[in-house]
Chain A
């Protein structure tokens, strides 16, 4: 209970699903051999933390930010540029972290002070504008960021796939630097999500929810809402930058497509809404569903598209083309905003609450 900050999943099914996801992620290197499964698992970990930090903004304060990928990108680029410039050593990683996190927080502070004073809609538009400017900036400053190509880099010796930590003869599987990196990603993401859970269940988190429900009233109660919103914005930016650092470390690369593009922003929105806003747990579920769909639904759609084109159906092959998977997720997104705005987690919790209510009466 302590570790969950007194905010358990509150639904038996939800608990079960979460335990399955977390156990599967923890055991991926041993259960599912192959590079693809490990990549998918690492991506789920990184995005779970990133989406959870976005949930702090969207779900708990009710402000829509389109600049979240910017902070994610700052983390990615900070570590990439440091490792690229200083060579593969631990000092470079430390430099990247020390430079990236404060930069993200400062930028979040500036945006927050500038635009959070007014309506939520204003904040959404300003973040969109700032994020797009940052994206252009990152692709233009190619001497620093590598432009459209991005920056590839080497990791320190310990984290490379070639480093064998435990040889195959001992337990039957090999533990190498790659798997160590995976567990680094897994553990850091877990810590960040637990920290966010702590934040939203603190008195500070309660104030954020009060602001979400009725900003005027929260202000009347004596809370300085601008301060609280800006603080939340900075915290979210810090965690997003942290997720960006993990992402770059895992991919050994940072570029506009993997860390800055607007489509990642849309992915995050989809994940948080499908998983369930204002729950933090929704981030884990949303990220798992979305990334599994992204990686495995596409091949399914490819088969369907082929079948449709062989059957000579009009339009369907185009609509079912593997590249069009976002179309279907977009429809799912609209449907979930409309029909179940609390997402998967909200649904499961409500079902659980109803059942519990039935027993007590």
Chain B
């Protein structure tokens, strides 16, 4: 250890860039395999859009785990609820959704998405108070309680809306693709990527530039110490939980528009994908979650194009490979 003078700045923590290079490397390696550059660009755009949507849904889960050691197996319920709320709100405004003007479309979509987030967030409040509060610190019961919550939420959606698949058509102005040369990139994917990036940057800014973020990061590292310093970490956690739920709701809306349909069990497959992302990224790490989401989406898109048969198990293979390399995920932020 070198000695520091009192006036010296603290040594910068070493930046760990290997995980960041991973998706870049994956993208570069696949260029010759895919052959046609235009196909490669389309696939890459698709991966980015899908990765961003998964990131939005997974970010809340990983923070909630990192901060309070709570793993919410019912996280998927917020996704489905968000999607349903948006469908419900958009139904009376079908004319505005179908209008051929970007601004008219966005004027309905944005409030619908915000309302979905509000409802998911409020549901998060209820879930945290009713289901999770009584079982803090008991992993087994947390898993059981939140799984029970998932069953109840899914069945309630079935009871209210029935088992049929509800179509959610994309607004007219978001249909179709931007065509640059011979590369076609779907407009909605561009929007999804932009929203995902905005969410990622917003989370990073809050976590790294505000006092709130400082407290959250400190809580992830050492909860007892933050409590001992006099901060109410429970309240902080409730806020993070509600934000995470709201983000899951937003992800649900985006996914519903992406797939152009809503179903009460739509979150089942997504939950698995989200868990894989959270594990790959390292439980509690937002940066890891971001990279993990892009990796999963890349493997799904490139893999689906190159070896369709392998696409079924590609996520598992990716997870195994990453965990062989780093047993705690890309970025291990918690000591747990």
Bound together, the chains give a CA A321 to CA B151 distance in angstroms of 16
B residues less than 8 Å from A121 (CB atoms): 65, 71, 139, 143, 283
Q: Does B258 belong to the interface (CB within 8 Å)?
A: no
Q: Does A269 belong to the interface (CB within 8 Å)?
A: yes
Q: Does B144 belong to the interface (CB within 8 Å)?
A: yes
With contact pairs A324-B159, A333-B148 given, residues A133 and B269 touching in the complex (Cβ less than 8 Å)? no
B residues less than 8 Å from A140 (CB atoms): 312
B residues less than 8 Å from A327 (CB atoms): 151-152, 155-156, 158-159
**A334 close to B152 (CB less than 8 A):** yes
B314 CB, nearest partner CB in chain A, Å: 9
Per-residue contact bits, chain B 188-206, to A (CB 8 Å; 1 contact, 0 not): 0000000000000000000
Q: Does A273 belong to the interface (CB within 8 Å)?
A: yes
Most chain B CB neighbours (cut-off 10 Å) among A62, A140, A318, A337: A337
A216 CB, nearest partner CB in chain B, Å: 13
A residues less than 8 Å from B275 (CB atoms): 125, 128-129
Of B32-40, B239-247, B315-323, the one with at least 4 CB within 8 A of chain A: B315-323
Query: Closest residue of chain A to B143, judged by CB?
Result: A64
**A326 close to B139 (CB less than 8 A):** no
B269 CB, nearest partner CB in chain A, Å: 7
Q: Does A170 belong to the interface (CB within 8 Å)?
A: no
B residues less than 8 Å from A337 (CB atoms): 135, 141, 144-145, 148
Q: Does B14 belong to the interface (CB within 8 Å)?
A: no
**A262 close to B316 (CB less than 8 A):** no
Most chain A CB neighbours (cut-off 10 Å) among B140, B156, B316: B140
**B272 close to A330 (CB less than 8 A):** no
Q: Does A266 belong to the interface (CB within 8 Å)?
A: yes
| Number of A residues, CB within 8 Å of B | 40
Q: Does B268 belong to the interface (CB within 8 Å)?
A: yes
With contact pairs A128-B275, A137-B312, A327-B159 given, residues A118 and B327 touching in the complex (Cβ less than 8 Å)? yes
Query: Closest residue of chain A to B152, judged by CB?
Result: A330
B134 partner, pick from A125, A130, A338, beta carbons under 8 A: A338
Bound together, the chains give a CA A341 to CA B142 distance in angstroms of 12
A133 partner, pick from B279, B312, B323, B328, beta carbons under 8 A: B312
Q: Does B232 belong to the interface (CB within 8 Å)?
A: no
Q: Does A313 belong to the interface (CB within 8 Å)?
A: no
Per-residue contact bits, chain B 118-156, to A (CB 8 Å; 1 contact, 0 not): 000000000000010011000111011101110110011
**B152 close to A331 (CB less than 8 A):** yes
**B319 close to A321 (CB less than 8 A):** no
Q: Does A356 belong to the interface (CB within 8 Å)?
A: no
**B316 close to A133 (CB less than 8 A):** yes
**A326 close to B131 (CB less than 8 A):** no
B residues less than 8 Å from A341 (CB atoms): 141
Q: Does A2 belong to the interface (CB within 8 Å)?
A: no
Most chain A CB neighbours (cut-off 10 Å) among B147, B275, B328: B147
**A319 close to B276 (CB less than 8 A):** no
**A129 close to B148 (CB less than 8 A):** no
B325 CB, nearest partner CB in chain A, Å: 14
**B312 close to A324 (CB less than 8 A):** no
**B279 close to A132 (CB less than 8 A):** no
Q: Does A24 belong to the interface (CB within 8 Å)?
A: no
B272 CB, nearest partner CB in chain A, Å: 4
Bound together, the chains give a CA A259 to CA B84 distance in angstroms of 30
Query: Closest residue of chain B to A139, judged by CB?
Result: B312
Query: Closest residue of chain A to B161, judged by CB?
Result: A318
Bound together, the chains give a CA A165 to CA B123 distance in angstroms of 60
**B139 close to A120 (CB less than 8 A):** yes
Q: Does B336 belong to the interface (CB within 8 Å)?
A: yes
Query: Closest residue of chain A to B163, judged by CB?
Result: A323
**B156 close to A126 (CB less than 8 A):** no
**B319 close to A129 (CB less than 8 A):** yes
Bound together, the chains give a CA A269 to CA B316 distance in angstroms of 24
B residues less than 8 Å from A338 (CB atoms): 134-135, 145
Bound together, the chains give a CA A327 to CA B149 distance in angstroms of 10
A327 CB, nearest partner CB in chain B, Å: 4
**A129 close to B145 (CB less than 8 A):** no
**A319 close to B159 (CB less than 8 A):** yes
**A273 close to B279 (CB less than 8 A):** no
A177 CB, nearest partner CB in chain B, Å: 38
Q: Does B180 belong to the interface (CB within 8 Å)?
A: no
Q: Does A32 belong to the interface (CB within 8 Å)?
A: no
B residues less than 8 Å from A120 (CB atoms): 139-140
B residues less than 8 Å from A137 (CB atoms): 312-313
Q: Does B1 belong to the interface (CB within 8 Å)?
A: no
Bound together, the chains give a CA A319 to CA B152 distance in angstroms of 11
Per-residue contact bits, chain A 101-120, to B (CB 8 Å; 1 contact, 0 not): 00000000000001000111
Q: Does A231 belong to the interface (CB within 8 Å)?
A: no
Q: Does B160 belong to the interface (CB within 8 Å)?
A: yes
A126 partner, pick from B147, B159, B279, beta carbons under 8 A: B279
Query: Closest residue of chain B to A327, judged by CB?
Result: B155
**A119 close to B159 (CB less than 8 A):** no
Q: Does A187 belong to the interface (CB within 8 Å)?
A: no
A residues less than 8 Å from B268 (CB atoms): 262
Q: Does A136 belong to the interface (CB within 8 Å)?
A: yes
Q: Does A175 belong to the interface (CB within 8 Å)?
A: no
Q: Does A124 belong to the interface (CB within 8 Å)?
A: yes
Q: Does A122 belong to the interface (CB within 8 Å)?
A: yes
Bound together, the chains give a CA A47 to CA B163 distance in angstroms of 27
B residues less than 8 Å from A125 (CB atoms): 71, 275, 278-279
With contact pairs A121-B71, A334-B145 given, residues A129 and B151 touching in the complex (Cβ less than 8 Å)? no
**B152 close to A318 (CB less than 8 A):** no
**7 other A-B residue contacts (CB within 8 Å) besides A129-B279, A330-B148, A338-B135:** A126-B279, A129-B315, A140-B312, A269-B147, A323-B163, A333-B144, A341-B141
Which positions in A face B, CB cutoff 8 Å? 58, 62, 64, 114, 118-122, 124-126, 128-130, 132-133, 136-137, 140, 262, 266, 269, 273, 315, 318-319, 321, 323-324, 326-327, 329-331, 333-334, 337-338, 341
- Cross-chain pairs A/B with CB under 8 angstroms, 15 sampled: A64-B140, A64-B143, A119-B139, A124-B71, A125-B71, A266-B147, A266-B151, A318-B160, A319-B159, A323-B163, A324-B155, A324-B158, A329-B151, A331-B148, A334-B148
